[in-house]
């Protein structure tokens, strides 16, 4: 089908929050009839690992991120815990705590998990490309990643990007 | 309005209502109608956009008490 619309996304971020946009956009595009391709490179490789527990969210140095509790009465949930960077940086496990709270908030809001969205992408035949250079650079093995990935270089990305109606760098 | 299939997407957030609807539409025949229930306010515009881009017909879109009901006829 030559008139099929095409989307390509370059996914470069390896945190829980930034893992969402590539999978949300690719799965939605596929539902709308697009042929969708995601090229995972640099930290984006974390999004296609078998073990997704490496995806964390960091409020440190991120003033745009509200820190709210996903439990308790409404007035308590409404509080934005504005904790100074210097304190965040010195509390051991602060990122893990923030990640746990974020995952709870995500579930409370009926938002899918990354694993679920990734599966939906695969079911919808979204093509996953991974950057072989950064796989080697970061010391990963192909066995660290889920099945169905093609390991390629920049030239292969352009084979898809050059044909695409929409290309996004995330 | 009668529906051939019903999808309960209440409590789900973007993009799940659209993805579930796409899946449910694949399970019915051309000309059949899918009823979708949703609580996501964004789904009102999103189902319009979905219909426009996929050629499935959004026959109706209503809201009552924070719940949205859509009827979509498969292309």
A72 belongs to a structural domain: no
Residues of B noted as catalytic: 14
Percent of chain A with pLDDT over 90: 76
Q: How many interchain CB pairs under 8 A, A with B?
A: 35
Residue A31: which of B12, B18, B39 has the nearest Cβ?
B18
pLDDT at A82: 84
pLDDT at B13: 93
A87 belongs to a structural domain: no
Q: Is A32 on the interface with B (CB under 8 A)?
A: yes
Determine the distance in angstroms separating the CA of B64 from the nearest CA of chain A, rounded to an integer: 20
A107 belongs to a structural domain: no
pLDDT at A89: 86
- Please name which of A130, A69, A65 lies closest in space to residue A97, comparing C-alpha atoms: A69
State both tokens at B46: 């999103």
Runs of H (alpha helix) within chain A: 16-31, 74-77, 85-90, 94-108, 114-123, 132-137, 154-161
Residues A110-123 pLDDT 10s: 999 999 999 999 99
pLDDT at B42: 93
CATH number of residue A50's parent domain = 3.40.1260.10
Would you write out chain B's pLDDT as a tens digit for each of its 75 residues? 899 999 999 999 999 999 999 999 999 999 999 999 999 999 999 999 999 999 999 999 999 999 999 999 999
Contact check, Cβ <8 Å, B50/A31: yes
Length of chain B measured in residues:
75
A105 belongs to a structural domain: no
pLDDT at A86: 87
CATH number of residue B29's parent domain = 3.30.110.40
pLDDT mean across residues, chain A: 93
pLDDT at A2: 65
A121 belongs to a structural domain: yes
pLDDT at A3: 82
Beta-strand runs (E) in chain B: 5-9, 33-38, 57-64, 67-73
CB-CB neighbors (< 8 A) of A28 in chain B: 15, 18-19
pLDDT at B61: 97
Residues A141-165 pLDDT 10s: 999 999 999 999 999 999 999 999 9
Domain boundaries, position A11: 6-54+113-169
What lies within 8 Å, CB to CB, of A163 at 6+ separation is A6
A39 belongs to a structural domain: yes
CB-CB neighbors (< 8 A) of A31 in chain B: 15, 18-19, 21-22, 50, 54
Q: Are A55 and A19 in contact (CB under 8 A)?
A: yes
Residues A124-142 pLDDT 10s: 999 999 999 999 999 999 9
| SS percent in chain B: helix, strand, coil, step 5 | 30, 35, 35
**How many domains does the structure of chain B reveal?**
1
Contact check, Cβ <8 Å, A32/B40: no
- Please name which of A19, A21, A25 lies closest in space to residue A48, comparing C-alpha atoms: A19
**How many domains does the structure of chain A reveal?**
1
pLDDT at A83: 85
Tell me the mean pLDDT in the region A91-119. 92
Domain boundaries, position B37: 5-73
Query: H or E segment at B16?
Result: helix B16-26
CB-CB neighbors (< 8 A) of B22 in chain A: 31, 124
Q: Which of B19, B20, B34 to mutate to test the interface with A (most CBs of A within 10 A)?
A: B19
* CA pair distance B61, A141, nearest whole angstrom: 49
A99 belongs to a structural domain: no
Looking at per-residue confidence, does A135 or A62 come out higher? Answer: A135
- Please name which of A1, A30, A5 lies closest in space to residue A128, comparing C-alpha atoms: A30
- To the nearest 10°, report the CA torsion of A25, A20, A9, A120: -60
Q: Is the pLDDT of residue A66 over 90?
A: no
What is the CB-side half-sphere exposure of residue A82 using CA atoms within 13 A? 2
């Amino acid at each position: 089908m030559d008139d099929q619309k095409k989307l390509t996304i370059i996914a470069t971020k390896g945190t829980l929050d930034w893992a969402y946009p590539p999978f949300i956009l690719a799965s939605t595009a596929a539902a709308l009839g697009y042929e969708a391709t995601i090229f995972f490179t640099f930290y984006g490789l974390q999004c296609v690992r078998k073990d997704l527990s490496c995806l964390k969210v960091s409020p440190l140095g991120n003033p745009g991120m509200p820190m709210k509790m996903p439990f308790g009465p409404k007035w308590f949930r409404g509080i934005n815990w504005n904790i100074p960077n210097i304190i965040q940086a010195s509390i051991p496990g602060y990122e893990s705590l923030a990640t746990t709270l974020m995952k709870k908030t995500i579930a409370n809001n009926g938002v899918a998990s990354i694993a679920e969205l990734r599966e939906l992408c695969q079911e919808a035949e979204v093509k996953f490309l991974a950057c072989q250079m950064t796989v080697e650079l970061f010391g990963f093995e192909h066995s660290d990643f889920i099945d169905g990935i093609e390991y390629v270089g920049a030239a292969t990305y352009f084979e898809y990007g050059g044909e695409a109606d929409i290309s996004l760098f995330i | 309005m009668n529906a051939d299939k019903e999808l309960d997407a209440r409590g789900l957030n973007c993009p799940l209502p659209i993805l579930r609807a796409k899946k449910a539409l694949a399970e019915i025949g051309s000309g059949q109608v899918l009823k979708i229930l949703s609580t996501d306010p964004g789904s009102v515009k999103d189902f319009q956009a979905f219909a426009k881009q996929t050629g499935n017909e959004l026959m109706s879109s209503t809201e009552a008490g924070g719940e949205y009901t859509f009827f979509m006829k498969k292309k």
